[in-house]
Structure 1
């Protein structure tokens, strides 16, 4: 099992919906947190608010970094190393979304998405895992998506990043398990976080309505189940009932899943 109490945990994308829940719940476990996102001011404000509500645990540092390129990942690693504290758990949570037909999304936008959603977790894992291997202790958590199992219309780029993160997680797990380093990949369904308001482009962006919040999951419950999976060293975590069912259908009844997906598409298209 992975111990969360007093564990030093680095969370990327800490200002987002999942990031805030991870911060709150890990503090309740008594963890020691390093928070990272684009804005240090936003992180500090969030840290102050949450620590007024949760008196256990500790926020060690708030670090502003842009993970959309190699230098940003290296900068985050260097600033964490400068704290002279070994990271026990790396949570690659930072992610961005977009929606649109593949050829109608500006190349710079989907390339940035691939940098943040896939290459940043790979780069940070590469940087931090060496120390974990040396210490024979550590855990890398990659927040993927159910889109890493089933791709919807308009989400080709996003799904590609999340499928890639699933494959990377499985390969990394095979490579580091002999060193007592754990890997967990998490596949949540659409949740009530800001990513639901991602930028839309082109034809599909104009004909689809916003995803109904009533059909989205509660991020607090999703992260609660995620941390249970981390504690139990699960490689694959499906943290909500919809995710569990869809991955089951994808494996064993793909034709039925395709039929359900077509019905969902019709429901979400503007009339």
Structure 2
């Protein structure tokens, strides 16, 4: 099992819905957490409310980092190295989403999404895994999405980034297993986090509406299931019922998938 108590955890996207929940849960589990996000003011604001003195864990220094660039990823790696606290668990949680037909989505926006959702986890994992190999221990956690298995209309670019993260995770897992390094990939369904309010573009945006509450999940419960999966060294975590159902349909009854995704799509569309 992966021990969370006293483990040094580097968490990206720490101020987002999943990131904030993860920080609190990790502190409760006794972890020593290095938080990073592009929003420095929000990092400080949330740190004041976390009050780590009430938990067995510890907030280590946080870093503002633009993970949408190679330089930003390298700067984060160097800053963390300077702390002289070897990272036991790297959680690649930072990411964004966009909604719209691919040809109607600004090129610079979907390219940034690919940088954040796929290339940043690859860059950070490639850097930190070398240290883990030397120490013969470590755990890499990639927060993917059910969109890493299916590609809903309007989320093509997002799905491409998450499909890529799934493939990368599978490959790295086989490459580092002999060094006692674990790789866990997490596939949540739509959860009640700010990513649901991501920017929309083009003709699909005109008919888009909010998902009903019953179709979204509680991020606290999703991250509880995620940490449990990390502790149990699970290679894949499907932390909610919709994710488990949809991925099983994809695997075992793909003919039903189009019908199922059409039902989900209708929840996005405003009545005419």
Q: TM-score, normalised by structure 2?
A: 0.98
Q: How does 1:1-271 map to 2 (within 5 A)?
A: 1-51=1-51, 54-271=54-271
State the distance in 1 between where 2:47 and 2:6 align: 17
Q: Structure 1 residue runs of 4+, over 6 Å off?
A: none
1:52 deviates by: 5.8
1:53 deviates by: 8.0
State the distance in 2 between where 1:145 and 1:34 align: 23
State the distance in 1 between where 2:150 and 2:223 align: 21
Three-state SS of the structure 1 residue aligned to 2:26 is helix
Aligned Cα RMSD in Å?
1.0
Q: Which moved more, 1:32-41 or 1:53-62?
A: 53-62
1:124 deviates by: 0.1
1:10-64 C-alpha deviation (Å, 9 max, x unpaired): 0000000000000000000000000000122211221120126842200011100
State the distance in 2 between where 1:37 and 1:267 align: 32
In structure 2, the CA distance between the partners of 1:53 and 1:224, relative to structure 1 (3 Å rule), is: farther
State the distance in 1 between where 2:128 and 2:96 align: 22
Three-state SS of the structure 1 residue aligned to 2:200 is strand
Unaligned runs of at least 5 residues, structure 2: none
1:208 deviates by: 1.6
State the distance in 2 between where 1:122 and 1:204 align: 31
The answer (yes or no) to whether the contact 2:27–2:52 under 8 Å persists in 1 is no
State the distance in 2 between where 1:263 and 1:23 align: 34
The answer (yes or no) to whether the contact 2:73–2:120 under 8 Å persists in 1 is yes
In structure 2, the CA distance between the partners of 1:52 and 1:10, relative to structure 1 (3 Å rule), is: closer
State the distance in 2 between where 1:216 and 1:114 align: 24
Q: Which moved more, 1:206-215 or 1:90-99?
A: 206-215
1:182-209 C-alpha deviation (Å, 9 max, x unpaired): 0000000000000000000000011121
Number of positions where the alignment pairs a residue of Structure 1 with one of Structure 2? 271
1:258 deviates by: 1.3
The answer (yes or no) to whether the contact 1:144–1:166 under 8 Å persists in 2 is yes
State the distance in 2 between where 1:147 and 1:250 align: 11
Q: TM-score, normalised by structure 1?
A: 0.98
Three-state SS of the structure 2 residue aligned to 1:98 is coil
Q: Which moved more, 1:203-212 or 1:125-134?
A: 203-212
State the distance in 2 between where 1:270 and 1:54 align: 45
The answer (yes or no) to whether the contact 1:27–1:54 under 8 Å persists in 2 is no
1:254 deviates by: 1.2
State the distance in 1 between where 2:154 and 2:96 align: 15
State the distance in 2 between where 1:58 and 1:267 align: 42
State the distance in 1 between where 2:267 and 2:55 align: 44
